[in-house]
Amino acid sequence: MKLLRFAFAIALASGLTAILIYFNGLIYINGVSFQNAAIHLSDKDVEALRNLRTTFQKCVSANGLGLEALSGRGYCDVTLRFPSDTLPKWKDPKTGELEGLSFEFNLCEAVATWEQVRNSTTILTREFIDALPNGWKEYAWRRINKGILLNQCANRTLCEEKLSLVLPERPPYLPRQFGSCAVIGNSGDLLKTKFGKEIDGYDAVVRENGAPIQNFTEYVGTKSTFRLLNRGSAKALDKVAELYERGKEVLIIKTTIHDIMNKMIREVPILNPIYLMLGASFGSAAKGTGLKALEFALSICDSVDMYGFTVDPGYKEWTRYFSESRQGHTPLQGRAYYQMMECLGLIRIHSPMRANPNRAVKWVPDRRLILAARIASEKLLRRVGAGSGDPLSGCSIIKKQSSRKATRDLSIRSAVIEHQKYAKATTMYPLEHNPGHGLLCTVPRD
């Protein structure tokens, strides 16, 4: 009788477990649970994720200058660990604790998000706000200095007037618009190697905030196509605009609109083209102006190289090439994240310890592997349109483009034309903080 009751209890427990699994939709892959509603991994998917992680680990070992990539619980999770003799310098301002030596990253999240960025436009446009449900009352309001008269954009004309100086109707820059691009950080490491002539050889150069060019040209070059500005630099827009030949450098602002900035644009006047950054969300593992500059570059360039980021081991403190040392963001975490980007084939790092301009990054996954890994990653992450090869499948918001005349000239790069064919002439915008990381897409009218 006891044996019968015991067997009944086991059967009951098994049944309850099956019911819970059914309702929760959980399945387990390599010991990690995922929602069954989004998981239909084929053998090809699993092989792609396994190969991505293996290749990634080899790349970090070959190029990471002492970093090593350790496997996590599933195919997506890796830990980048610094050598034990690394001396962290950054302290958490809240706890006072030193920065750690190991950082966890999700390769699936990185691949899916960055591949989405590479096919999107990252400049805020009037088209984006028009297509976003309640875009003027809810979204545009957050991008404008909040004043009593604006009243959450109930007066749309007034809101449009506030944004008109920085808000184009359509994206001024397209995916693949430039071939090779260089993003220049502000690290004091730039003074250790004369990269100036090399930097000037890129099709486009992206700089950050108030970093000067004059007096440092042999180290940082003379060319400047774009400059990405944070809140502080945006408030000093008149000074930033004078850092380069007036009117030639495009200013991209990654913050809200301020009355003081609007006044400067009108009255100084500021001759440079000025736009607002529409960015994707990368989570707490990746922050700062440097990352946003890379995001912007990856959205308009075939290839992106980075200079002037503190990425070599043995640093003493975070420094600028044009000013005294200062407290910076989590430098070890940043270096680990940039190494992850290099070993996913997104960027190539140049630094004093990587000074060869022709340096080949070993064990970078090829585009075929990245594509297969992206498809599998989107399934695991329950992304909008996961598993489809159609680029429009990731569009969680679709709206027809308004009728307009063709503005593209005959000098447009063939890579841009091919991308427009791939995207079916649709303009794709990342939706920040969207649960499924979907895209807002404006498609041409028939």
Q: What digits encode the pLDDT tens for the residues 90-127?
A: 777 788 888 889 999 999 999 999 999 999 999 999 99
- Is a pLDDT exceeding 50 seen at residue 444? yes
Question: What span, in angstroms and rounded, lies between the C-alpha atoms of 211 and 343?
Answer: 28
The model's pLDDT over 233-262, given as tens digits with 9 standing for 90+, comes to: 999 999 999 888 777 899 999 888 888 888
Counting Cβ atoms within 10 Å, is residue 108 exposed (0-12), middle (13-18) or buried (19+)? Answer: buried
Range 219-227 average pLDDT: 97
- The token duo for 7 is 């067997």
Check residue 209 and give left, alpha or beta (phi > 0: left; psi -120 to 50: alpha): left
User: Looking up tokens 């890129």, which residue turns up?
Assistant: 202
Range 132-141 average pLDDT: 90
The model's pLDDT over 273-289, given as tens digits with 9 standing for 90+, comes to: 999 999 777 765 556 88
pLDDT band at residue 27, thresholds of 50, 70 and 90? very low
Question: What span, in angstroms and rounded, lies between the C-alpha atoms of 281 and 432?
Answer: 5
Range 307-331 average pLDDT: 75
- The token duo for 84 is 């034990």
Would 306 be classed as within a structural domain?
yes
Would 406 be classed as within a structural domain?
yes
Question: What span, in angstroms and rounded, lies between the C-alpha atoms of 201 and 188?
Answer: 22
- For residue 418, the SS3 value is helix
Strand partners, 77: 106
262 and 357 assigned to the same domain: yes
Would 275 be classed as within a structural domain?
yes
- Is a pLDDT exceeding 50 seen at residue 327? yes
- Is a pLDDT exceeding 60 seen at residue 29? no
DSSP string, 341-401: HHTTTS-EE-BTTB--TTPPPTTPPPHHHHHHHHHHHHHHTT-TTTT---GGGGEEEEEEP
- Per-residue confidence (pLDDT) for residue 435, from 0 to 100: 67
DSSP annotation of 12 reads H
- The token duo for 140 is 């545009």
- Per-residue confidence (pLDDT) for residue 347, from 0 to 100: 97
**Bigger pLDDT: 231 vs 251:** 251
- Per-residue confidence (pLDDT) for residue 35, from 0 to 100: 42
- Per-residue confidence (pLDDT) for residue 418, from 0 to 100: 94
Whether the CB-CB separation of 383 and 391 falls below 8 Å is answered with: no
**Bigger pLDDT: 209 vs 325:** 209
- For residue 321, the SS3 value is coil
Give the alpha-carbon dihedral of 57, 61, 65, 68, to 10 degrees. Answer: 60
> For residue 186, which of 300, 328, 65, 301 has the smallest C-alpha distance?
328
Q: How many residues does the chain have?
A: 446
- Is a pLDDT exceeding 90 seen at residue 211? yes
Would 336 be classed as within a structural domain?
yes
- Per-residue confidence (pLDDT) for residue 155, from 0 to 100: 86
Number of structural domains found in the chain: 2
- The token duo for 217 is 């040209």
Ranges of H-type helices in 103-155: 107-118, 126-131
16 and 121 assigned to the same domain: no
Would 398 be classed as within a structural domain?
yes
282 and 420 assigned to the same domain: yes
Would 108 be classed as within a structural domain?
no
Question: What span, in angstroms and rounded, lies between the C-alpha atoms of 76 and 211?
Answer: 37
Per cent of the chain over pLDDT 90 is 58
- The token duo for 150 is 């604006």
Would 430 be classed as within a structural domain?
yes
Structural domain that includes position 292: 116-125+168-443
CATH number, position 202: 3.90.1480
- Is a pLDDT exceeding 70 seen at residue 404? no
- Per-residue confidence (pLDDT) for residue 7, from 0 to 100: 46
Q: Please name the helix (run of DSSP H) or strand (run of DSSP E) that holds residue 266, with its range, or none.
A: helix 259-267
Would 315 be classed as within a structural domain?
yes
